[in-house]
Structure 1
């Protein structure tokens, strides 16, 4: 069954939107939160879980170097925190907003996170290689924001180490990826993976790691709006406040929060 057809059929059974005060959900979509996890964090699990599953499927782990393209949005912030928790030795982040890049770098007090603005002068691929002694990163996680130029992705793919992994999460990026000769792509042997969501077991695994303190999402800054202020919430999201800001429509019913899809 095509993906979108499957979604359409699911919506026929569960037609009430996420901004409703009450809604029905399949029991397989319900996750139990331990007391250590603030319910205000849970609405971000759609984005954070997407980054978690992408890095897990690419076998990102202890000793790896991770390169993140589009690091200043929520997918990128989350990937930094997850990569640190999974044991990456070094995380290289590329983004535009210098203030947010400074904040991203501060997620590691041991200097494991190194960042650069995409607007800086100089060859960005050479910068990547300089950070890891001329070697390529083990994985490239591409999470450009909506309207991002995928040509930057194409440029960075070539610096991934032989046998490395490319994880694509930027569904709103524009232009094609490619341009390398067939033989070079074959010899480079880079696996291309996509991540857009997760299953219940994968979400439960992430919750366990957050509860244990292995993955730290404490960088999130929650900004609450009452349900009647939901349009203000959407305007705030539209202003692109950055990946550390968590915009939440907070229903007055006990403990119920709904994601306003902040980027």
Structure 2
């Protein structure tokens, strides 16, 4: 029996426990991946506390890159030794969602090393719920993507977040030369969207974040002309006074072509929407529970589109991998924090505190 190190969640609120567990054996259609990099997401502890992880104890970590160590009997043996990233979304592959590039909406949808979000039976999640915060992970062979030469394993682990941003940008349907507002621009998804925006029609960005100090480094990595709006400079009562809308309207008198919104709470989502041009699009990916103040008539009158989206598809990850492989997209500078597996709880606590800027964080087992 071969053992490996793994960080496991045993309950909803306790810290992850670093343990020695048995290395999983691949079935006939599986591959065993030696994990080189596992991405960390702020949602991990929130979803764990919410009960979205349906199997405990479990190994979290849905963003995975490494080397194929072993292939099942029905898998091409040439995969052994290749560098891969793992597509985390488990879906049935036969329903109307899976057959139309919307597998994250499948009734069986769940994620390796993450939560179960579907409404139906989840047989794949039963087998593959353990994720990448370990030395090895067993995954279905059809969910591995070869990493292009020159793409680091750390960036490979974060392809999922980059593809989430690509999905949001596709939903925005920007006209060529469009102006795009990105809220919560200093976080993981905000910085990913900044990097990808030029490939989806944007010509100008307006970045919204908590502070000018945190926004300036994001503006500096933008491939496009970018202006910033710091919420803490709008005044204590900025929400009540609609100061964000006023500031955006000053910067973009004709209105923004799209807003990609990652704000998790508060009135900023609605205020950014009010800065849209006629015919503009709001794409929300932040999970904001604050009531949306606009009526159906408002949407009709302004010809606004409001799109909610979550997660990415294989088409989105293929788009990102093509951009990375061609060299058109470079994302290594988005990896701001690296941790050993033994420090995973310190890493998660730092993400929750947000006392310092953290764009993308990975664990290297």
TM-score (norm 1): 0.83
Structure 2 CA distance for aligned equivalents of residues 197 and 69 of structure 1: 18
Structure 1 CA distance for aligned equivalents of residues 318 and 221 of structure 2: 24
Given the superposition, is the C-alpha separation of residues 143 and 86 from structure 1 closer, same or farther in structure 2, using an over 3 Å criterion?
Answer: same
Residue 268 (structure 2) pairs with residue 152 (structure 1): yes
Q: Which residue of 2 aligns with 1:19?
A: 133
Structure 2 CA distance for aligned equivalents of residues 94 and 194 of structure 1: 19
Structure number with larger C-alpha Rg: 2
Structure 2 CA distance for aligned equivalents of residues 109 and 56 of structure 1: 18
Residue 123 (structure 2) pairs with residue 4 (structure 1): no
Q: Which residue of 2 aligns with 1:45?
A: 159
Structure 2 CA distance for aligned equivalents of residues 38 and 70 of structure 1: 26
Structure 2: unaligned runs, 5 residues or longer: 1-106, 109-116, 236-242
Q: Which residue of 2 aligns with 1:34?
A: 148
| Secondary structure at 1:92 match in 2 | strand
1:114-129 alignment, distance < 5 Å = 114-121=227-234, 123-129=243-249
Q: Which residue of 2 aligns with 1:175?
A: 290
| Secondary structure at 1:16 match in 2 | coil
CA displacement, residues 192-214 of structure 1 (integer Å, 9 cap, x when unaligned): 21222112122011111122233
Residues paired across the two proteins, number: 243
Check conservation: 1:167, 1:192, Cα contact below 8 A. Answer: yes
| Secondary structure at 2:259 match in 1 | strand
Residue 257 (structure 2) pairs with residue 138 (structure 1): yes
Structure 1: unaligned runs, 5 residues or longer: 252-263
Residue 310 (structure 2) pairs with residue 196 (structure 1): yes
Q: Which residue of 1 aligns with 2:32?
A: none
Structure 2 CA distance for aligned equivalents of residues 175 and 86 of structure 1: 29
Check conservation: 1:14, 1:25, Cα contact below 8 A. Answer: yes
Structure 2 CA distance for aligned equivalents of residues 243 and 49 of structure 1: 19
Structure 2 CA distance for aligned equivalents of residues 11 and 238 of structure 1: 27
**CA offset at residue 181 of structure 1?**
4.1
1:230-241 alignment, distance < 5 Å = 230-240=344-354, 241=356
**CA offset at residue 118 of structure 1?**
1.2
Check conservation: 1:48, 1:78, Cα contact below 8 A. Answer: yes
Structure 1 CA distance for aligned equivalents of residues 158 and 136 of structure 2: 19
Check conservation: 1:31, 1:200, Cα contact below 8 A. Answer: no
CA displacement, residues 145-183 of structure 1 (integer Å, 9 cap, x when unaligned): 4xx31x211122122112211111102x33111x23442
Deviates more, 1:117-126 or 1:47-56: 117-126
Q: Which residue of 2 aligns with 1:256?
A: none
Given the superposition, is the C-alpha separation of residues 216 and 21 from structure 1 closer, same or farther in structure 2, using an over 3 Å criterion?
Answer: same
**CA offset at residue 79 of structure 1?**
0.8
TM-score (norm 2): 0.61
Residue 323 (structure 2) pairs with residue 209 (structure 1): yes
**CA offset at residue 8 of structure 1?**
4.3
Given the superposition, is the C-alpha separation of residues 227 and 121 from structure 1 closer, same or farther in structure 2, using an over 3 Å criterion?
Answer: closer
Check conservation: 2:281, 2:305, Cα contact below 8 A. Answer: yes
Check conservation: 2:148, 2:324, Cα contact below 8 A. Answer: no
| Secondary structure at 1:24 match in 2 | strand
Structure 2 CA distance for aligned equivalents of residues 229 and 160 of structure 1: 43
**CA offset at residue 19 of structure 1?**
1.3
Q: Which residue of 1 aligns with 2:357?
A: 242
Q: Which has more strand, going by share of residues? A: 2
User: Root-mean-square deviation (CA), in Å?
Assistant: 2.2
Structure 2 CA distance for aligned equivalents of residues 96 and 218 of structure 1: 24
- Relative contact order, higher structure (CA 8 A, sep 6+): 1
